[in-house]
Structure 1
């Protein structure tokens, strides 16, 4: 590529990224927008947690999960969200969970209070993220669910 073509590509690329800076920001107070993004990956309904904070009950490819809104002020302005899925009666070994946590960058695997398989993934929304960024986080969660269910032997319902 000639120097002129490289320079032109760089200028056009920087111009194209300009509107990205003007994108709307989603924070933990925009619950309806977050539910809409969740629905892009499967069924998702808005519920309330016991403490009054919102949560999403979702299902991706037959795998149920929750998105808990955390560190909320007045049940509306929440600093972060926690993706969670638990798998009753599936009891992987600690060695298997340690291997997952060692080999995977995202998603913390552990045994819940009943010693069943669980996985979580946290996303900080304190100062907001673009819609595209949050959609990408849901995409990561979707992949994590698929990989983790296969890893622990969970069979999704059709």
Structure 2
């Protein structure tokens, strides 16, 4: 009886593991990633200059990009780079440092033209659940909204 229960338990554990792996979203699942992005505003799939996928989106009137990084033959990408840059909004270094000191999960900086930028990364090498990916887009939405306010962007 113990042996049968042990085999049944092992089989159930294996089935759950296989099921969870089958549901993992990786950088190869560009359509699913785009679908989740669309839950937060307008979004479309485009390509970067090197041919890798890119999402161009908008959250509450603020345009952003999600770059697929470390791709093999323009697919099977290992991570996502969420990016927002404001042209001609030039906060002080103190404002940028204040953001980085007080906020988690993103990093802000001044680009070469001293424009305000903020980024966030997501590792997809082992895959993530659709629910987790959705939570990361929700976090990105919050970053976009708060950073826009922080640097004085008016839509």
Tell me if both proteins adopt one fold, taking TM over 0.5 as the criterion.
Answer: yes
SS at match of 1:99: helix
1:1-158 equivalences in 2 (<5 Å): 22-23=19-20, 24-156=23-155
Distance in 1 (alpha carbons) for counterparts of 2:121 and 2:101: 17
- The separation in 1 between residues aligned to 2:48 and 2:27, in whole angstroms, is 15
Structure 2: how far apart are the matches of 1:51 and 1:33? 22
1:25-61 alpha-carbon deviations (Å, 9 max, x no partner): 0000100100000000000000000000000000011
SS at match of 1:22: helix
Does the C-alpha gap of structure 1 residues 20 and 151 become closer, same or farther in structure 2, counting only changes over 3 Å?
farther
Matches of 2:16 and 2:139, distance apart in 1 = 25
Unaligned 5+ residue runs, structure 2? Answer: 1-14
Provide TM-score, normalisation by structure 1: 0.84
Higher strand share: 1
* CA 74–152 in structure 1, closer or farther in 2 if over 3 Å, else same: same
